Amino acid sequence: MSKVTLSVIKADVGGWVGHSGVHPALMERAKDCLEAAKGLLTDYYVASCGDDLNLVMTHALGVDSEAVHRLAWDTFVACTGVAKKLKLYGAGQDLLSDAFSGNVKGMGPGVAEMEFEERPSEPVIIFMADKTEPGAWNFPVFKIFADPFNTSGLVIDPKMHAGFRFEVHDLYENKKVLFSLPEEYYDILVLIGAAGHYTIKSVYSKSGDIASVSTTQRLNLMAGRYVGKDDPVLIVRAQSGLPAVGEVLEPFAHPHIVSGWMRGSHNGPLMPVSVADAHPTRFDGPPRVIALGFQLCEGRLLGPQDFFADPAFDRARSEALELADFFRRLGPFEPHRLPLDEMEYTTMPEVMKRLKDRFEDITD
C-alpha cells in the first residue's frame, strides 16, 4: 500500500496590521504557488493563525523531501515579495537565510511532517498557534496521549491500553530521548514540565505508528542568536486505536500558561479560538490556537472543520480572558514577564553598563 506524507511548513513573512494577521494578498500568492505545483502535491490547504502563514501539503515524497521544502521556501520568498510591496510589518521575518540549501529546517520556517499508510478512515487535526513557542504543546500532548482523566480510551479502549511512546527533544543540547508511557510517566514529567527546554517532538503507538508530530526545532544558534518563540504547529492523527477527535480537543477546554505574547517575552494563557478570531490584539495577544480538522481521502484534504469555533470552547475563552487580566496587572513583574535569560527583547546589558560603577559591596 502506498504511503501519504502530510507536511505542514509555516513562517511569518509579514504581519497585517503589526503582528496581528496575514494579509489576503499573501494567502492568495501562497495558494497560487501551491496550485502551480499541483504535479508535486496530492493536495494543499493554505491557512493562517495570527501573522503566521501555514502551508498544509499532502504528497507521496516522504518527510524531508527537497522538492517539497523548496516549494515551501519559494512560496515564502514570493509572499515576502508581496509583503515588502505592501510594506507589511516584519516582511520576511522568519526567513533567516537568502538562499535555500535543500531543507528548510534551521532556516527559520517551522516544519511538522509525518508519513503513514492512510487508514480506511484517516481523521487528522492540525493545531496552529500564534504568540507562543513549541513547548506550548507539551501540556496538551501529554494529556491527549497519557492522561486517563483526559483520554478515557487509555483506560477503556483495548487498542490504546498499552500506552504510547514519546520522543522528547532537549532544545539546548540538540539531543533526543524516547520515553515509554505509562511505565515512565513520572520520569517524562520531570523534563517536559520545563517546556522551554524539553519539548515533545512526536508520539508513536506501541506498534510504531506515528500519531503526532510538532514543529519543534533547536533554539540556539539559529541566525546566530537565541530564537525561541517560534509560533508552533502540531499534527495529531485521531480515532481507531488513537485518541478520539474529542479526546484530542479536550485539553483545550481549560487554558494553560505559555510563554510568548508581547515581544515574545511574557507568560499568558493560550486561548482556543475560531479561524475568524485568530488575530491577536490585546498586548499582541493573548496567545491563541486554532484547530483545523481534515479527513484524508487518498491524500486529499477534506475540510477543514474549524473545531474551536464551537460554543463548547466559550468557557475556555472566558477563563483565558480572566487569566489575561490577572497577568496584565503584573506589568513588568515575573511571572508575567519572562525570566531575564528567556526574553526575546532586553535592555539589561545597556542598563547594567550604566549602573556598573554604582554597584557597591554590601558590607553590613
Write out the residues near ligand 13P by the rule CB under 6 A.
12, 19, 50-51, 93, 130-131, 229, 231, 262-264, 284
* Angle formed by the axes of helices 24-36 and 66-85, nearest 10°: 150
Tell me whether residue 116 or residue 283 sits nearer to ligand 13P (CB atom): 283
Contact 6, 214 (CB under 8 A): no
Closest distance of CB 201 from Mg ion, Å: 21
Closest distance of CB 230 from Mg ion, Å: 9
Query: Is the bond leading into 182 cis (omega within 30 degrees of zero)?
Result: yes
Tell me whether residue 46 or residue 242 sits nearer to ligand 13P (CB atom): 46
First CA to last CA distance, the chain: 78
Q: Which of 229, 231, 192 is nearest to 214 (CA)?
A: 231
Tell me whether residue 4 or residue 233 sits nearer to Mg ion (CB atom): 233
C-alpha grid cell, residue 222: 539559529
Closest distance of CB 227 from ligand 13P, Å: 10
| Catalytic residue (one of 10, 12, 198, 231) | 12
Active site annotation includes 87 = no
Choose from Mg ion, ligand 13P, none: what does 81 bind? Cβ within 5-8 Å by kind: none
Closest distance of CB 263 from ligand 13P, Å: 4
Contact 135, 258 (CB under 8 A): yes
Tell me whether residue 17 or residue 155 sits nearer to ligand 13P (CB atom): 17
Footprint on this chain of Mg ion (rule: CB under 5 A): 12, 15, 19, 50-52, 90, 130, 231
Active site annotation includes 226 = yes
| Catalytic residue (one of 105, 170, 226, 277) | 226
Residue 78: exposure state from Cβ atoms within 10 A (0-12, 13-18, ≥19): middle
Active site annotation includes 345 = no
| Catalytic residue (one of 204, 229, 230, 284) | 229
| b/e per residue 165-197 (b: at least 16 CB within 10 A) | bbbbbebeeeeeeebbbeebeeebeebbeebbb
Which sequence positions are flagged as catalytic? 12, 226, 229
